Amino acid sequence: MKAQRKITFFNLAIVLALCLGSLTYGYTFSIVSTTLGQPSWFEYFDLTQVATEPRYAYTNSIIGAMNGCFSVGGLFGALFNGWSCDYLGRRKTLLVATPIAIIGGALQGGAAHIAMFLIGRVLGGFAVGILVVLVPLFQSEIAPPATRGFLVSQHGVVLVFGYSLAAWIGVASYFSKNPAFQWRFPLCIQCLFPLAMLILTPFLPESPRWLLMNDRFDEAWAIVLKLHADGKDPEAEDVHFATEEFYQMRRQVAADKAVASQETLMTLFTKPSYRKRMICGFLTMFGAESTGILVIYNYSVLLYQGLGFSGSLPLILAAAYVSVACCGNYVNSLLIDRVGRVKLLLIGFTGCLITLCFESAMSALYIGITPMNHAGLSAGVFFLFLYITFYGCCIDANTYVYCSEIFPTHIRSRGLSFSVACLFLSTIAYLEAAPTAFAQVGWKYYLLFIILTAINIPLIWYYFPETKGLSLEEIGEKFGDEIVMHLTDLTDEQRAELDREIASNKQQAGAVHVETKAEPNSLTEKSVA
């Protein structure tokens, strides 16, 4: 049977509700960039933006600590999620993350001293470390195969929308006559999104694959049916698809559980098919961060100031920069199910490499040169925007899609948590060092990202399998695992068996869908051994 391409309203509503977690991550992470553009923040905490003052080295260490604390919190949050998602479930883990995000935002917005501010950054990082893993994982487990890339890509789209929102709120706040409002208000806004997520979470269904892993078959079947049928009558094609997918999910989960009982944490690195996934997850996240994306964005205001812009203009350019990234992520979501994950990654990394080379050349030739060369500095801004166009259209959302779908159900949360932990480890190293690196070696810091990206491109081309259009269960075959059955390429025997299942479940499937609850049916009564 051809994989379902239609997206139901119920499916889309869940994806978009989960994107409040993406918005929390994007806004919480990026609000520091606009904070660095507010002179009142520097004045309140007795910091300086003048390189010749004695406190400048201390200021650089605090700026590095702001991002370092966030990344450390994110690292532990991502690792915590690997346990929590399996033990508590996807939905209950949301109820852990959102209150912590609210507290972290409140501490930052109400900070009376720099230590309170940094503690808020740690808590905010911990919360979004959970959310940035959980949201794409949850989305991937409820999406149909043919449109999974588009749906999970909304995590990246909304995440970068959070960047953009933080940037424009920072621009607007800059013109306030109240110095405290200039930096406190944008920081306090970050409490709103996790609060909305906290309110909506009780209304979200649990992941059907997690329910199957915990032997809650009837609940899982009711959710799968509603996800794919969404008001259709029992004769509809979508009901057939839901029946087939649920049958495949049950069989594969049963096989995975039998294997999981004999595995340990080290199996993730010792079993060849798992090890390949872990390497792919690491290279995806590490490679994306090694383009220098977060260094360039988080310090974009400082970079624009270094390129000769002053006043509110650096904030406006930073806001425009992430707005381009937001549009690029939506383009990514439209392309990913057509072009494929791996091909887009290769295009994106190559584009970032080329534009970063030009950007480093413009910085070397024109930053700090007297008299100021406005054409050369404008060219530097152009290449920064071209860089983010490649990254947004091909890489950003794609990384979360790919890492969320390559792991089997019983290790998905741990595998994705490991991948995102690599992201935060990278940001700790890159962001903590960036203020001092730009002050000491300037444009040469770009060479690190140029070299790493040049190494990552052939590794991705050679090592990464393509996953577009396949169900989560079928992707395992790309890594060498045994697949119990294929949803998108059924054998005649499987087709005959499933036709019997569909015929025997038509009326009951309709009843389940109308009543929005599951009743015993032949799918849950049959052995899948």
The reported pLDDT for the residue numbered 237 is 66
* Contact call for residues 75 and 129 (beta carbons, < 8 A): yes
* Contact call for residues 134 and 141 (beta carbons, < 8 A): no
Q: What is the pLDDT of residues 467-519, one digit of tens each?
A: 988 877 788 888 888 776 665 555 666 666 666 665 655 555 444 444 444 44
Nearest one of 429, 191, 432 to 299, comparing CA atoms: 432
Token digits of residue 376: 């050369």
Give the Cβ contact number of residue 350 at 10 Å: 16
The reported pLDDT for the residue numbered 526 is 40
Q: Is the peptide bond before 371 cis (omega within 30 degrees of 0)?
A: yes
* Contact call for residues 423 and 402 (beta carbons, < 8 A): no
Residues of the chain with confidence (pLDDT) below 50:
1-3, 509-529
The reported pLDDT for the residue numbered 528 is 36
Which domains are seen in the chain, by residue range?
9-204+272-479 (1.20.1250.20), 212-259+490-521 (no CATH)
Cα(527)–Cα(251) distance, rounded to whole angstroms?
9
Map residue 527 onto helix, strand or coil.
coil
Q: What is the pLDDT of residues 431-481, one digit of tens each?
A: 777 777 777 777 788 899 999 999 999 999 999 999 988 877 788 888 888
Cα(124)–Cα(129) distance, rounded to whole angstroms?
8
The reported pLDDT for the residue numbered 131 is 93
Cα(430)–Cα(7) distance, rounded to whole angstroms?
39
Cα(10)–Cα(230) distance, rounded to whole angstroms?
7
Nearest one of 220, 254, 240, 256 to 490, comparing CA atoms: 240
Cα(365)–Cα(19) distance, rounded to whole angstroms?
42
The reported pLDDT for the residue numbered 261 is 74
DSSP 329-348: HHHHHHHHHHH-HHHHHHHH
Cα(100)–Cα(102) distance, rounded to whole angstroms?
5
The reported pLDDT for the residue numbered 229 is 72
Q: Helices in 300-340 by DSSP H: which ranges?
A: 300-306, 313-339
Token digits of residue 45: 């905490």
